Amino acid sequence: MGYKRISKDEYYLEIAKVVSKRSTCLRRHYGCVIVKDDIIIATGYCGNPRGEDNCCDTGVCKRAGAERYHGYENCNSVHAEQNALIATERSKLIGSTVYLACEQVIENNGKYTFEEDLNPVPCNICANMLKNAAVGRVVNKSGDIDLYGKENK
Q: What is the pLDDT along the chain (153 residues), one digit of tens a residue?
A: 688 999 999 999 999 999 999 999 999 999 999 999 999 999 999 999 999 999 999 989 888 888 887 888 888 899 999 999 999 999 999 999 999 999 998 888 878 889 999 999 999 999 999 999 999 999 999 999 998 765 554
Please list the active-site residues.
81
Question: Which domains does the chain carry?
Answer: 8-152 (3.40.140.10)
pLDDT 10s digits, 32-49: 999 999 999 999 999 999
Residues 6 or more apart whose CB falls under 8 angstroms from that of 128 comprise: none
Residues 6 or more apart whose CB falls under 8 angstroms from that of 32 comprise: 16, 19, 42, 43, 44, 45, 80, 81, 83, 84, 98, 99, 100, 101
